[in-house]
Amino acid sequence: MPTATPPNSLLSPALLAQLERLELVTRKMFRGRVKGERRSRRKGQSVEFADFRNYVAGDDLRFIDWNLYARLEKLFLKLFLEEEDLHFYALIDASLSMDFGDPTKLHFAKQLAASLGFVGLCRADRVKVESLGAARKNPGPVLRGRHSLWRMLEYLEGIQAGDNTSLEQGIKDFCLRNTGKGILVLITDLMEKSGYETALRYLVAQQMDVYVIHVLSPEEVNPDVKGDLKLVDCEDADIAEITVSRPLLERYKRTLASYVEGAREFCTRRGMSYLMTSTETPIDQLVANYLRRRGLVR
Amino acid sequence: MNIINTLGVLPWIVLASVPPLLILLYFLKLRRVPLEVPSTYLWHRTIEDLHVNSIWQRLRQSLLLFLQLLLIALLIFACLRPGWKGAKLSGGRYIFLVDTSASMSATDVEPSRLETAKARVADLIDQMNSGDVAMIISFSDGAKVEQQFTDNRSALRRKLRQIEPTNRPTNLREALRAADGLANPGRTSVRPTDDPDTIDVQVADPLPAELYIFSDGGFDPVADFALGNLTATYIKIGKEEKPGNVAIASFATERNPEKLDQQQAFARLENYGTDTVTVGVSLYLNDQLRDADEVTLEAGKGKGIQFELLDTDVLEIEEGVLRLEIQHKDDLPLDNVAYAALNMPRRANVLLLTPKNDALRFAVATEEALKIAEVLIESPEFLESDAYATASKAGVYDLIIYDQCVPKAMPQANTLSIGTRPPLEKWNFGETTGPPIIVDTDRAHPLMQLIEVGNVVIVEGFPIETPPGGTSLIDTNIGSVFAVSPREGFEDAVLGFEMFGRNENGDVVVNTDWMRQLSFPIFVQNVLSYLGGARGSLAAPSVKPGQPVKLRARSPIQQQDADKEVVRSVTVELPKRRLGPNPEMFLCLPTRMCWAFTKYEKVAARTSHIDSPSICSTAARAIFKSPQSSPSVKPTCMANRHGSRHARSSGSYC
């Protein structure tokens, strides 16, 4: 197993070692295109015997149990449990708003995507990491096998803030191109003026196990501002003039709480997993604790 | 609070735009620190519902802006020129009318109605706000402005305390006029220009005022009076139920018509209460009890009583004051005492000018006639003498009888012209015709009392027309042949037919047979009595407060002093000598007929008895202002020989 150090700070060796022990879990059984390392409900070619059935004309002769034929002179077909691979998608919201915080939310999102992708790669799952809307100009590579870690990291390195379309458009594109089953991890800050509901609603139609990871910077959770401010939206240069006061901050926190709660409820009702996290949370802790608790990894 | 706007529309717009500009500048001045945030999404949602009051959130922290706005607001407010001009301007002017008539002295409310009314006024004065002005008018039959409009409350109170009761009747109209003249000037005058479009200009601003009338309501309703700007409030003083009162309604002396030497005193008592009362009545002559009686009076009824004054009493006392008292305690004690003067009849000074008239000579020389008149008989030539000229001017005689002669000018005396046409203005004398047949006589007139002339035959006579005010006494088919008419305090009687005339040959002819009739000496007696003034001095009718009193001085003796006015001064003594230190009397002196008026009714008020001649001040003013009467003011009356003529009055219950 190659244990080379990643060329950047996305994944530390310790983290990699930790991640190696994990595997992605899905609550649904999916059929991958290639034989994977997972058992499928479907019968197929694998080493794990499942059942016998009578031979009917046209069946693959390779699966006839010749030993049984020798004993009973009847043709039985040997059925095996098919082993499948898992499709893992990580969608990173690379809007400008993600480029905030220290470390930036985008960096945090990249780290998370890399971590989960690495877990998938280790388990020979089909891993696809891309930024929202990147399909048009720079579609993310489909990766398999841990040797693809470098390619994944390279791709993640190349994601720049602001090179994605809107949340809705990006998810729509994604859904159109990826109709299969799998695990989708959407890493975003949900800061969408037009609302995230329409965007997430596209995912409902997909037969995917959807995880929405809501990344917020500490500045957003606990804004440390004072005085008369002219808040400039970095995306559309929208201006909000505020005079900071304690009631205003309290009101902001209430608004944020209700916003998060609204998003959580929205996702829960539609069978999606929602997780709000701050960029302060260490990645290993997040993956090893929170996501494991959520059942994304095992 | 009133606001006097001194700015026009444009200045107001400019001024009103200052505060918004200030706020605008304040916001422009506010430099917000730009801060880039990932998204203003949440912030917008946060401040969305704060937008409504966000401006106040901002302003809350800027004390400086508040101070500036306050300054601007005060500036604008100052431009409005606010001030307390008195929102109660109309209520700020009060007129207090205080009734001081005799009925206000009633004691049915303690201590008296007037005192109660004064206390009420004092209460109102206490309630006056600063800046309010008030006026006090007291009124009885006339109005007196005690205090002009002033806001000096102590002056108002002082003047209020000085209001004293009078014995007069009530006449609200005078007081209302006085108040009205101040509150409703309202008259207009024409601007003196030739402009045909000249309109009436109001000469003065009407000043609304609140009128408070403090009275017991004992006055007639005042009709035809527009209050105008006055807001009248009538405040009733006194108890609702009728107070008990027994009053002397009249008190007079009269000669007994049957026994001419005797005098009688008549009085009429009225019971104004609701119960039948029995009162004792005492008659005093010069404070000595002369007679007493007891009278039972039914409620609401009156009764007359009579006292005989014996000869001896009268003869003993030349002049005296009769006092009648009711021994009864009631709510209005003022009218329980009445006074009447008792005068010995003075013989009239009569000049008879006749060439030869025996009937007349005999008639004036009867025993009865001598009792009442001293007659000087002269021939018509006496008319030319200086003595006559002086005496007639000086008013020496009470009566001058012209028989068959005519004076050049009318004397200062009563006259009787027999069969001649005296030089009287406004009289009209017709042509001599005859024979006149007597149709009617005026028996009510004192001159014609007890005279029957229906059997008198007259050969010829001339009709007489008197000026207005005159009285025709004998009417015939050709018109009045005997008439009497007043002339400046005197009276002239003209008989339209001669007794003895002369024909063309100068012979004496008899014109009538009246001299042979029984009625003739009675007629002469009436003439001497009435025109000679004897009756006037003897009879003492009731004089009510507020009425003018006619006083007659005794005839002067030194009438021979030519060109000298004999009467220099007249002293009028009030009963009990309760006259104030300086009671100004207005006397019209050229004759012996004196009209006396007290200027100050305080004199009457101070005596607080209806015995004093409280004389109508209205009349006094009228006389005083009249240039013809030219009254000479005597601050202190010099004593002279003229005895007092007591003015009499009896209670008049208003």
Query: If you write DSSP's letter for every residue of B66-113 in order, what string do you get?
Result: HHHHHHHHHHHHHHT-EE---TTTGGGEEEEEEE-SGGGG--SSSS-H
Task: Establish whether this prediction's ipTM goes over 0.95.
Answer: no
Q: How confident is the model at residue A257 (pLDDT cuts 50, 70, 90)?
A: very high
Paired tokens of A285:
């802790």
Among residues B53, B28, B61, the alpha carbon closest in space to that of A245 is found at: B61
**Count of A–B CB contacts within 8 Å?**
85
Amino acid at position B356, single letter: K
The pLDDT, as a whole number, for residue B195 is 53
B577 touching chain A per CB within 8 A:
no
Placement of tokens 């609070």 in the chain: B1
Closest chain A C-alpha to B64 CA, distance in angstroms: 16
Residue A262: its pLDDT value, please?
92
Indicate whether B258 pLDDT > 80: no
More confident: B227 or A188? A188
DSSP label at residue B53: H
What does pLDDT average to over chain B? 71
Determine, for residues B33 and A191 on separate chains, whether the beta-carbon distance falls below 8 Å.
Answer: no
pLDDT at A294 over 90: no
pLDDT digits 0-9 by tens, B453-462: 888 888 889 9
Least confident of A96-110, A200-214, B75-89, B211-225: B75-89
- Which one of B21-35, B50-64, B375-389 scores highest in mean pLDDT? B375-389
User: Hey, are the CB atoms on B38 and A240 less than 8 Å from each other?
Assistant: no
pLDDT band for position B384 (50/70/90)? confident
Interchain pair A230, B40: CB under 8 A:
no
A192/B38 Cβ within 8 A: no
Chain B touched by A207 (CB under 8 Å): no
pLDDT value at residue A258: 92
Beta-carbon separation of A248 and B46 below 8 A:
yes
Of B35, B46, B61, the CB nearest to A255: B46
Q: pLDDT band at A71, cuts 50/70/90?
A: very high
Sign of the four-CA dihedral B246, B250, B255, B258: negative
Quick: pLDDT tens for B308-329. 776 554 445 555 667 788 887 7
**Hey, are the CB atoms on B43 and A259 less than 8 Å from each other?**
no
Place of tokens 């008879």: B352
- Is A226 part of the contact surface with chain B (CB cutoff 8 Å)? no
**How many whole angstroms from its chain centre is CA B304?**
28
Tokens found for residue A37: 């390392």
- For residue B242, what is the DSSP state? P
Q: In angstroms, rounded to a whole number, what is the distance separating the alpha carbons of residues B236 and B217?
A: 7
* Contact yes or no for A233 and B33 at CB 8 A: no
Which of A193, A228, A245 minimises the CB distance to B32?
A228
pLDDT computed for residue A266 by the predictor: 92
Residue of A193, A214, A241 to mutate, testing the B interface (most B Cβ within 10 Å of its Cβ): A241
With a CB-CB cutoff of 8 Å, which residues 47-106 of chain B face chain A? 47, 50, 57-58, 61
Lowest-confidence pick of A138-142, B78-82, B198-202, B309-313 = B198-202
Mean pLDDT, chain A, whole residue set: 82
A interface test, pick of B39, B47, B49, B57 with most A CB neighbours within 10 Å: B39
**Residue A168: which residues within 8 A CB-CB, separation 6 or more?**
A192, A194, A198, A199, A202
User: Which residue did the predictor score with more confidence, B338 or B158?
Assistant: B158
Provide the pLDDT for residue A189: 86
Write out the DSSP string of B315-366: HH-SEEEEEEEEE---S-GGGGEEEEEEEPPPPEEEEEE-SS-HHHHHHHTS
Instruction: Tell me the one-letter amino acid at A46.
Output: S
Least confident of A33-47, B287-301, B444-458: A33-47
Q: How far apart are CA A283 and CA A109, in angstroms?
A: 10
The C-alpha torsion from B242 through B243 and B246 to B249, rounded to 10°, is: -60
pLDDT band at A28 (very low <50, low <70, confident <90, very high): low
pLDDT of B235: 79
Say whether pLDDT at A27 is over 80: no
d(CA B512, CA B459): 6
Between A205 and B320, where is the model more confident? A205
What would the mean pLDDT of B2-25 be, rounded to a whole number?
79
Structure tokens at B239: 């108890």
Confidence tier at B554 by pLDDT (50, 70, 90): very low
Q: What per-residue confidence (pLDDT) applies to B606?
A: 25
List pLDDT tens digits, range B540-550: 555 555 555 55
What one-character DSSP code corresponds to residue B390? H
- The rounded distance, in Å, linking the Cα atoms of A90 and B25 is 53
Query: Contact A54/A69 with Cβ under 8 angstroms?
Result: no
Q: Which residues of chain B have a CB within 8 Å of the CB of A94?
A: none
Nearest residue on chain B to A221, alpha-carbon basis:
B42
Chain B residues touching A229 at Cβ < 8 A: 32-35
CA distance A150 to chain B (A): 30
Contact (CB<8Å) B32/A229: yes
Given a cut of 60, whether residue B336 has pLDDT beyond it is yes
Identify the residue among A226, A230, A279 best suited for mutation to test binding to B, counting B beta carbons within 10 A and taking the highest.
A230
- The most confident of A259-268, B61-70, B488-497, by mean pLDDT: A259-268
Q: How far is C-alpha B556 from the chain's CA centre?
A: 31
Residue with tokens 């209806």: B610
Question: CA B278, CA B296: separation in Å to the nearest integer?
Answer: 4
Nearest CA in chain B to A98: B38
Least confidently predicted of A286-290, B233-237, B401-405, B590-594: B590-594
Assign B617 to helix, strand or coil: helix
CB contact under 8 A, B41 and A232: no
Nearest to B41 by CA among A255, A269, A27: A255
C-beta atoms of A255 and B57 within 8 A: no
CA dist B97 and B177 (Å) reads: 11
For residue B47, give how far its alpha carbon lies from the nearest alpha carbon of chain A (Å): 8
Out of A220, A228, A240, closest to residue B33 by CB: A228
Cβ atoms A96, A84 nearer than 8 A: no
Place of tokens 């965007």: A199
In terms of Cα–Cα distance, which of A254, A260, A262, A225 is closest to A240?
Answer: A225
- What pLDDT is attached to residue A214? 92
Task: Give CA separation, A98 vs A168, A190, B40, B612, in Å.
Answer: 16, 10, 13, 118
Chain B residues closer than 8 Å to A228 by CB: 30-33
**In B527-634, where do the E strands start and end?**
549-552, 585-587, 593-598, 632-634
Angle at B145 between CA B143 and CA B151, to 5 degrees: 145
Q: What is the pLDDT of residue B562?
A: 43
**Using CA atoms, how far apart are residues A137 and A170, in angstroms rounded to an integer?**
12
Average pLDDT over residues B1-27: 78
Interface touch B44/A240, C-beta < 8 Å: yes
d(Cα B528, Cα B523) in Å, to the nearest integer? 9
Task: Please count the other Cβ atoms lying within 10 Å of the Cβ belonging to residue B447.
Answer: 21
Cα–Cα distance, B414 to B531 (Å, whole number): 6
Q: What is the mean pLDDT of residues A106-127?
A: 87
B225 exposure class (CB count in 10 Å sphere: 0-12, 13-18, 19+): middle
- CA B585/CA B570 separation, integer angstroms: 9
* A100 chain-B contacts, CB cut-off 8 A: 37-38
Strand, helix or coil at B203? Answer: coil
Chain A residues 94-123 with a CB less than 8 Å from chain B: 96-98, 100, 105
Closest partner residue to A230 among B34, B50, B61, by Cβ? Answer: B34
Q: What is the mean pLDDT of residues B71-93?
A: 70
Q: Nearest CB to B58: which of A100, A219, A243? A: A243
| Contact residues for B232 (Cβ-Cβ < 8 A; gap 6+) | B211, B212, B213
pLDDT band of B445, cuts 50, 70, 90: confident
| pLDDT tens column, B293-310 | 888 888 878 888 888 776
This prediction has a pTM of 0.40
Helices (H) and strands (E) in chain A, counts: 10, 10
Put simply, whether B36 touches A (Cβ < 8 Å) is yes
Residue/partner pairs of B44-47 with CB below 8 Å, 24 or more apart: B44/A238, B44/A240, B45/A255, B45/A259, B46/A242, B46/A248, B46/A251, B46/A252, B46/A255, B47/A240, B47/A242, B47/A248
pLDDT tens sequence across B121-143: 888 888 887 778 888 888 877 78
Does any CB of chain A come closer than 8 Å to the CB of residue B45? yes
CA A179 to chain B, closest CA, distance in angstroms equals: 32
Highest mean pLDDT among A35-44, B344-353, B462-471: B462-471
What digits encode the pLDDT tens for the residues B169-205?
Answer: 777 777 788 777 766 655 544 555 555 555 555 555 6
A221 CB near a chain B CB, below 8 Å?
no
